[in-house]
Amino acid sequence: MAIRNEDEYIFADAFVGCHITSLMNRQDLIRLINCPDFTSSESLLREFGYGESKEVIEGDVEAFIRREQNKLFDVIFSNLTGREEMAPYIYPFDYHNIKVCIKSELLGITPDETYLISTGDINWMQMVAMIRDRNYEKMRPAMRDAVEEALDVYSRGGDPQEIDIILDKACYKDMADSVAESGSQFLVDYISMDIDTLNLKAFARLRNMEKPWSFFKKVFIQGGSLTEDFLVSVYEESYTQIADKLVSQDLKKALTDGGRDIDEKGDFVLYEKLLDNALMEVNKKAKFYSIGIEPIAGYWSAKEVELDNVRIILNGKLNGTDPDDIEELLRETYV
């Protein structure tokens, strides 16, 4: 996959640039937290391009988020000359659909549309047919190999967790390999940090569960800057000791501050939030590009995080969570 000439992105960059100006900053999110009811929440969201949202007024948060994710997909792909450059960002949806199809088959049921995602790189109906018929011609080689491995390992061991492990590892390796061919260092760096944060989240949770490092090796995802050998070598060390060996200041902060919360309270919230913030800091580098795939990729990730923050806020309000506690959960914004 070769990246296109920058001139081919001029229209898409200009179009996406208009949407970037409508992104919510932290103060905007705090305003949303402080809205007295869902009607006023809906009114505020309309200020940022969300349009009329009866789902918000009715408290159907997930329906609202799904609709907005579909809109984001349309905004991105309706303006690109071709979809292959941004396709790695939607590979996780394909792999999610594969899991749904395989597990439904194991249960002897038809995959439920409710659990299938329509915004993958491969049409979900086509995916259902490919898994059902064992016809993987239209899958990428890495995906095909992962499906065959997952089915084989399950047939011999009967552990559905193995399906998730194999497909998750394959998904992110597929993403890393694809962006490596793009010619964009930004995409490479972003996916690399994404993988690093996923590995560090698994690293912390497995340590807390007192799982051996051999199990961590089983779930480790290739493609990040933190190698398997490094993380295995520090598996028994304190978070502060590990942080001292890291280059990224944002990852250092996650390990020191977040690690302290894990040690003292058994709480992963701050740790995982700071890892997500570290990924956003990499994403913000897209702002330094005026033309190319980078501004588009930067907006995509920024909007996904905004939707995550909006989900946190609306669900918090729905559950009667204290506003200060909701604010503590918010991820770093793009603007």
User: Does any domain span residue 75?
Assistant: no
Measured distance CA(278)–CA(294) in Å, rounded: 18
Residue 93 resides in a domain: yes
245 is a domain residue: no
Structure-token match 């996923």, residue found: 198
Q: Looking at residues 223-244, what average pLDDT do you find?
A: 97
pTM listed for this prediction: 0.94
pLDDT digits (tens, 9 = 90+) for 86-137: 999 999 999 999 999 999 999 999 998 889 999 999 999 999 999 999 999 8
Number of domains in the chain: 1
What span, in angstroms and rounded, lies between the C-alpha atoms of 333 and 310? 11
Model confidence pLDDT, tens digit, residues 17-72: 999 999 999 999 999 999 999 999 999 999 999 989 999 999 999 999 999 999 99
Residue 4: its pLDDT value, please? 63
Q: Give 189's contacts (C-beta < 8 A, 6+ positions apart).
A: 282, 285
Q: Does residue 155 lie in a domain region?
A: yes
Residue 328 located in a structural domain: no
> Does residue 284 fall inside a structural domain?
no
Mean pLDDT of 129-156: 96
Across the range 214-221, mean pLDDT stands at: 96
Residue 200 lies in a domain: no
What's the Cα-to-Cα distance from 59 to each of 44, 64, 101, 315, rounded to whole Å?
15, 9, 30, 8
pLDDT digits (tens, 9 = 90+) for 250-273: 999 999 999 999 999 999 999 999
- Compute the radius of gyration of the chain from its Cα atoms: 21
Give residue 83's pLDDT.
74
Residue 225 lies in a domain: no
Give the range of the structural domain holding residue 142, as residue numbers without chain letter. Answer: 88-181
- Separation of alpha carbons 9 and 1, rounded Å: 16
Torsions phi, psi for 211 (to 5 deg): -75, 145
